[in-house]
Structure 1
Amino acid sequence: MPNRGDGTEDSTGDLPPLQKLESPTGSPPSSSLSRLIELENCVSNLSLAHEIVVNRDFCFKPNGPPTNSLEGTVSEIVHRAFWDCLQQQLNSVPPDYSHAMILLQEVKTLLESLLLPGHVRLRAELDEVLDMELVKQEVSHGALDLSRLAAYVINTMASLCAPVRDQEIGALRQLQEPVELFREIFRVLGLMKIDMVNFTVQTLRPHLMQQAVQYEQAKFQQILDKDPASLDHTEAWLRAAASEEMSSVSGGPVSVMSVLNRAYMHLLRGSSLDQKYPETVLMDRARLNSLGEQVRSLVLDAAVLLLTSAQCGGAVWSLPGFVGKLKRSITALLEGSHTSDADLRGALLRVGEIVVQQVNEARHSQENTPLPQETQEILKGQIEELWKANNPVRILIGERVQGFLQAILQGGSLKRSPELASLLRLLSADLAELGRAFGQIVHFNRSVFGPFYAAILRRALFPSGEPETGDDHR
C-alpha cells in the first residue's frame, strides 16, 4: 500500500468508477443514439474490467493532452497565466492571498482523498491545521505563514506516499519560492492519487478474478441484447474450425474441445481473421497478435540454431556461453523482420553472416581452423532459405511448437520430441512463458464465453440433434 502511517484497512472506495460515456447535452438523444450510447458504455466497462483482470501489469498512468497539440498548448497557456497571477498577488504590498486560499483548500481536498477510513487521527489533524476559517482570520490579521502550512502539507504527503515518491518529496523540501512549491505540490499529489488507485486495483484483483467470469458474461449478454449481430464473426470462426476438425477425423466423432482448441490456435496466425476477428476475443486481440509474433520468432530462432548445430560440430556447440550468445544475436537480428518476406529474407542473410562469424570465432578460440568455405556457404544458404513458409526445417519446428501449445490447451502431459528435445530445451524458458500466457488467455476466454460457444458448436456439429460427445465445452 502506498500509505505509511496509521494502521489502516484496505478500502475499495478509492477505485475510480468504470469509464462512463456522457450523454450529449441539449436535446434528448434519439432512441437509436441512446442504444448506441448504452452499447458503448457496456463495451467500455467490459474492456476496462477485462484489462484489470487479465493484464497483470495493468495500471493507470498520468493523463494529459499531447505537448504539441492545440489542447496541450491551450492548457499550458492557461496554467502559466494562473501561476503568473498567483505570483503577482503574492508579490503585491500587502500580499493578496485570494488565489493562495483557493489552492490551500484544493490541497486539503486532495490530501483528504488519499486518506483511508483508519486515518482518524490524521484526518482530525488535517482539519485542525488547514481549518480554512482560521486561515482566513490569519490572512485578515496579516499573520498567515505559508511556509509553515507548506511544511505541514509536505510532511503529511511524506507519511502517505509510496516509497517510490520519496525522492520527489525530498525535492519539495528544497523549494523556497511559494509559486514553484505550490505547483510541485499539486504535481506530486496527482502522482500520489494515481499510486493510490493502482494500489487499490492490485488489491482488488483477486476479488475481481472471482467475479470476472460472471461479470463479463452478463456484460456481453447486454451487448448481444442490444446488437444481435455481435456473434456473427465468432460463429464464422468456430464453424471454420469445426469444418476443419470434421475433415481431419475422417467421419469419426468430433470433440467440441478439439474444435475450440483448433479455433484458438488459428488466432495465433491471425492473418485470415484480420477483417472478421471473433467478437468474443477482441479484447485480447493485441495480446494474441503479440504471442503469434513470438511464436514465429521462436520458430525461426530454433530453426537457425538447429541448422547451425548440424554444421558447426559438437565441440564448438558445447563451449560455455556460445549458444546463449548466438541465440541473442539471432533474436536481435530477426526482431521486426516478419512484416514481409523481403524483410525476413534480408534479415536472414545478415543472420547467416553473423552465425558463420561467431562459429569461426569459437573455432579459433579452440585453435581450430574456420569452417570450410563450402560449409560456410551451405549454412548461410540454409539459413536464408528459412524465409520460405514451406521450408521443411521451419515446418518441422513449427509443428513441434504448435504441438507444445496444443498440449497446454488440452491440459495433458507434453509429448517430448526426441529429435528436437535438446534444441527446444535451449528455448524452454521462452516456450514456458509463451505457453503460460496463451493458456491463461484461452482458459479465461473459454470460461467466460463457453455458454455462447456451446450454442454455436451445437448447431455446427449436431445440426440434426445428434447427442454430443462427452467433452465439456468449457
Structure 2
Amino acid sequence: MPNQRDKATDDSPSDLPCLEKLDSPTGSPPTVSLSSLMELENCVSNLNLAHEIVLNKDFCFKPRSPPTDSLEGRVTEIVHRAFWDSLQEQLNNDPPNYSHAVILLQEVKTILQSLLLPAHVRLRSQLDEVLDMELIQQEVDHGALDLHRLAGYIISTMASLCAPVRDPAVRALRDLRDPVELLREIFHVLGLMKTDMVNFTIQSLRPHLVQQAVQYERAKFQQILDKQPASLDDTTAWLQAAASEEAAAATARSESPSPDSRGPVSATAVLNRAYMSLLHWDGHGQKYPETVLMDRARLDALGQRLQMLVLEASVLLLTNAQCGGAVFSLQGFVGKLRQSVTVLLEGSHTREADLKGALLGLGETVLQLVTQAVSGHEGATLPQESQDLLKGQISELWKHNNPVRTLIGQLSKRGLIQRLIEAQMGVWFRKCRVIKTTPSKLCEFYFDKEISA
C-alpha cells in the first residue's frame, strides 16, 4: 500500500481508512472472547466470499457431496439411510404414522417459499392454500391425508420454478410411486434448485458488487484492524523488505555513471517490487502478506506460468545458438519445437526432481526434431559435439541461477512474458485499488534490470 503521507504520490480516495500499523502491546496477549473470534472469522469469510465473487466471473456454488469412499461419505450415507428407513417403517404401520411426513412437508413448503420471487404473489397464495399445515394435520388426525396428491402439486410447482436444466429431473419425479422414494428425490431436486437460485442471484448482483467492492473491502479490512491491530504485520514485513531492496537498487543506480540512474525511492517503485516478488514467492521464513492472501492461488498460478515461459524461451534460445538460423528458418520448425517443449515441461516446474527428469528427456526430443528437420531439407547433420553440448545446456536449466535462464527473465521486457502478464494480471489487478499502477508498469519495472557481465 502506498504511503499516504507522501503527497507527491498520494492519489488515494478520501474515504480510504487509516490502515497504519498500530503499536503491538507488549507482555501477555489480551484475552479474546469466543464471540469476538467468531465475529472476526465471519468478517474474514464474508470478505473472502465477496472478493471471489467480484474477481471470478465463473464463481458459483456447487452441491456438496462428500466422496463415497471417505469417512464423511460413509457416515452421511448411513445416517440418511437410517432416516429414510425410519420414515418407511412409520408409513408401513397400520394405521400409518405421518408425524415425520408432516414435518417434511413443512420443510418442502419452506424451501418452495424461498424460491419464490416478489412477483409470485398468486403462486405464494396458492402454496399457502394447498400446503396449509393446519389442514394437513387435521387430515392426518382423520386418516384422510393423500400424500400423492400433495406430491403432485409440489412437483408441478417445482416444474414452474426450476431452471430448464432441471426439467428432466422434475419430470422423473412423476414416475415415482413409493412415497418415501418420492420425498427423498423431491428433497434432492429442491437442493439443486436452491443452488441454482443462489447462483442466479450472484450473477444478477455481480455488476452491483463490482461497483461497491472497493469500499466494501476497505470497510472490512478496517473492521478486522479494529479487532486485531496486529493483523497486517506480515504485510508490513513484506513491504519493508521490498523497500530495502529498492533502496539498495537506487543506491547502486546513483553510483553508476549510466544515464538511466534514477532519483530517490518512490512508494510506487516499492509497491511494484513488492508485488512482482509475489510471482516467485519463496518466503524465506516470511509469511504471505495478508492483503493479497485471497489472491495467492491466482498469483501462484501466474508465477508458475511465468517460470514455464522462461524455460521454454531458454530452450529455444539454446537450440538456436547450437543449430544456427538455417534450421530455425525452416517452415513450421519453431512452432513444432515450442509445442513439444510445452508438452514435455508441463507441470514439471513445480518440483525440482521432476524438472531435472523432464529436461533430460527434452534434450533428446529437441535433438530428434533438429535431426528430422535437417534430414528433410538435405542440410548438414549437427556435429556430435554440438549435440552433447546442447543436451548438457538444456539439462542445466533446472538451476534457478542458470545464466541463460536468468538472461531470458531479464531481457523479456517487451516479449512473451510481458504479454502474458498483461493478459493474466490485467483482468483482476486493475480492480484492486490498493495497487496504484498498471500491469504494463509492473512489467516494465520487473524486466527493466541491468544485466551483469
SS at match of 1:230: coil
User: Could you tell me which residue of structure 2 aligns to residue 389 of structure 1?
Assistant: 400
Identity of aligned residues (%): 66
Does residue 48 (structure 1) correspond to residue 49 (structure 2)? The answer is: yes
Alpha-carbon displacement from aligned partner over 1:322-371 (angstroms, at most 9, x marks no partner): 65554443233223323443332211111222333344455566677875
Which stretch shifts more, 215-224 or 269-278? 269-278
Does residue 438 (structure 1) correspond to residue 411 (structure 2)? The answer is: no
Which stretch shifts more, 377-386 or 88-97? 88-97
Letter in 1 for 2:364: E
Aligned counterparts, 1:249-398, within 5 A:
249-250=250-251, 251=254, 252-272=263-283, 275-310=286-321, 311=323, 318-320=330-332, 323-361=334-372, 373-398=384-409
Q: TM-score, structure 2 length as denominator? A: 0.76
Q: Is the 8 A contact 1:309 1:317 kept in 2?
A: no
Letter in 2 for 1:437: Q
Letter in 2 for 1:221: Q
Does residue 108 (structure 1) correspond to residue 119 (structure 2)? The answer is: no
Letter in 2 for 1:210: Q
Q: Quote the offset at 1:313 in angstroms.
A: 5.7
Does residue 39 (structure 1) correspond to residue 40 (structure 2)? The answer is: yes
Letter in 1 for 2:266: S
Q: Is the 8 A contact 1:65 1:72 kept in 2?
A: yes
Q: Quote the offset at 1:228 in angstroms.
A: 2.3
Which stretch shifts more, 241-250 or 179-188? 241-250
Give the superposed CA RMSD. 3.2
Q: TM-score, structure 1 length as denominator? A: 0.73
Q: Is the 8 A contact 1:114 1:160 kept in 2?
A: yes
Structure 1 residue runs of 5 or longer lacking an equivalent are: 1-29, 404-415, 451-474
User: Could you tell me which residue of structure 2 aligns to residue 82 of structure 1?
Assistant: 83
Q: Quote the offset at 1:319 in angstroms.
A: 4.0
Which stretch shifts more, 288-297 or 126-135? 126-135
Letter in 2 for 1:259: V
Aligned counterparts, 1:224-235, within 5 A:
224-235=225-236
Alpha-carbon displacement from aligned partner over 1:18-40 (angstroms, at most 9, x marks no partner): xxxxxxxxxxxx65544434433
Q: Distance in 1 between matches of 2:40 and 2:95?
A: 57
Letter in 1 for 2:201: T
Q: Quote the offset at 1:70 in angstroms.
A: 5.2
Q: Is the 8 A contact 2:327 2:373 kept in 1?
A: no
Q: Quote the offset at 1:281 in angstroms.
A: 1.7
Change over 3 Å in CA distance of 1:85–1:64 after alignment to 2: same
SS at match of 2:107: helix
Q: Is the 8 A contact 2:429 2:435 kept in 1?
A: no
User: Could you tell me which residue of structure 2 aligns to residue 407 of structure 1?
Assistant: none
Q: Distance in 2 between matches of 1:119 and 1:367?
A: 77
Q: Distance in 2 between matches of 1:253 and 1:92?
A: 87
Change over 3 Å in CA distance of 1:97–1:236 after alignment to 2: closer
Change over 3 Å in CA distance of 1:204–1:383 after alignment to 2: same
Aligned counterparts, 1:444-459, within 5 A:
444-445=431-432, 447-448=433-434
Change over 3 Å in CA distance of 1:284–1:309 after alignment to 2: same
Change over 3 Å in CA distance of 1:231–1:102 after alignment to 2: closer
Q: Is the 8 A contact 1:284 1:441 kept in 2?
A: no
SS at match of 1:272: coil
Letter in 1 for 2:430: H
Aligned residues: 396
Alpha-carbon displacement from aligned partner over 1:203-240 (angstroms, at most 9, x marks no partner): 22221122221221122122222222223222222222
Change over 3 Å in CA distance of 1:349–1:32 after alignment to 2: same
User: Could you tell me which residue of structure 2 aligns to residue 182 of structure 1?
Assistant: 183
Aligned counterparts, 1:5-24, within 5 A:
none
Which stretch shifts more, 211-220 or 166-175? 166-175
Q: Distance in 1 between matches of 2:283 and 2:88?
A: 61
Q: Distance in 2 between matches of 1:265 and 1:348?
A: 27
Change over 3 Å in CA distance of 1:225–1:140 after alignment to 2: closer
Change over 3 Å in CA distance of 1:165–1:238 after alignment to 2: same
Structure 2 residue runs of 5 or longer lacking an equivalent are: 1-30, 255-262, 437-453
Letter in 2 for 1:186: F
Does residue 399 (structure 1) correspond to residue 389 (structure 2)? The answer is: no
Letter in 2 for 1:129: V
